[in-house]
Amino acid sequence: MSVVGLDRIAMAQERLSGRVRHTPLIVSNNLSARCGFPIYLKLESHQPTGSFKLRGATNAVLSLNDEAKKRGLVTASTGNHGRALAHAAKAEGARAVICMSALVPANKVDAVKALGAEVRIVGRSQDDAQEEVERLVREEGLTAIPPFDHADVIAGQGTIGLEIAEARPETELVLVPLSGGGLAAGVAAAIKGRLPQARVIGISMERGAAMNESLRAGKPVQVEELETLADSLGGGIGLENRYTFAMCRDLLDDVVLLSEEEIAGGIRHAFRTEGEIVEGAGAVGIAALLAKKIDVRGPTVVLVSGRNIGEARHRQIVDTDSVAISAGARGR
């Protein structure tokens, strides 16, 4: 198995110093009272680009040699990773091309363009966008920075786990959103390396959770991508997955799936009670606690991964106690 270990994550932490935000780790009095143990929120939603993705993308870009950066950078994205790579490329003076499908909402596309990146709209799926990435690598020599299955991306995300371990060494449980596995793998590697007593649970949605289905099958499998409030958790993990499948298989203690109404409840609670605007994928840890799907045995950290939800969509959810599920802003 290809593994990203503590040494590589510690190197990423040094590399990222001063480049990304050391995000707040705050206590939730409400959730703590509900669960009977201290519950902390790790607010990656406070990163400049609105999600944890800035860590992995920046670490990957800084790990490149000058020639690779000079050729230009390219990725397939449905939102957050593309925005993060555009930010990291701009900081290094490098060209960035972000390939996205026609399903990506205009506000996400505009946010990437605002950072000076080129946007290619291709097809109607992440797979279509990835085909354009491969063409640009093959024909124009651009350097690809994948959204999750990349050692430097995983190491960058793992720095969140180091921050948690340093701030709260008494932590017994970490809840982490689970999609392609870059975040879950990196955080789990850091937490298990520094806090061997702690459990790490991946949280995903019932609709189209590719990593969960792959773990159940014992190998990477294709899963139909469905509309979900946790849109940033959509998409496949890649049948040729090199890192994240094996790391999630070996390091996660469990995976919990949520209904759409439960995810909406997490978004609502984050805003109404915690005062935080959080997208569906970022709210899944909170949602899992509210739904009583987690066995809390001690101090727990909930990773709030991002805030990039459309204003109208967010208002629709928080202003009602029921929500009709439709496509939202995606986020890889």
Which residues are tagged catalytic?
A: 53, 305
Phi (first) and psi of residue 95, to 5 degrees: -70, 140
Q: How far is CA 231 from CA 8, 10, 158, 253, in A?
A: 29, 30, 22, 24
Rounded distance between C-alpha atoms, residue 162 and residue 6, angstroms: 9
- CA 140-141-147 angle, to 5 degrees, is 105
With contact defined as beta carbons under 8 Å apart, do 200 and 251 qualify? yes
Q: What is the dihedral of CA 287, 290, 291, 293, to 10 degrees?
A: 90
Q: 40: which 2 tokens? A: 């902390």
Hey, how many other C-beta atoms are within 10 angstroms of the C-beta on 240? Answer: 7
Three-state DSSP at 20 gives: coil
Q: How far is CA 254 from CA 162, 188, 326, in A?
A: 21, 12, 28
43, containing H or E segment: strand 39-43
Rounded distance between C-alpha atoms, residue 256 and residue 201, angstroms: 7
| DSSP summary character for residue 106 | H
Rounded distance between C-alpha atoms, residue 44 and residue 21, angstroms: 9
Q: Which is nearest to 93 in space by CA: 113, 77, 116, 59?
A: 116
Rounded distance between C-alpha atoms, residue 252 and residue 247, angstroms: 8
Q: 273: which 2 tokens? A: 């009670």
Phi (first) and psi of residue 317, to 5 degrees: -75, -50
Rounded distance between C-alpha atoms, residue 200 and residue 118, angstroms: 37
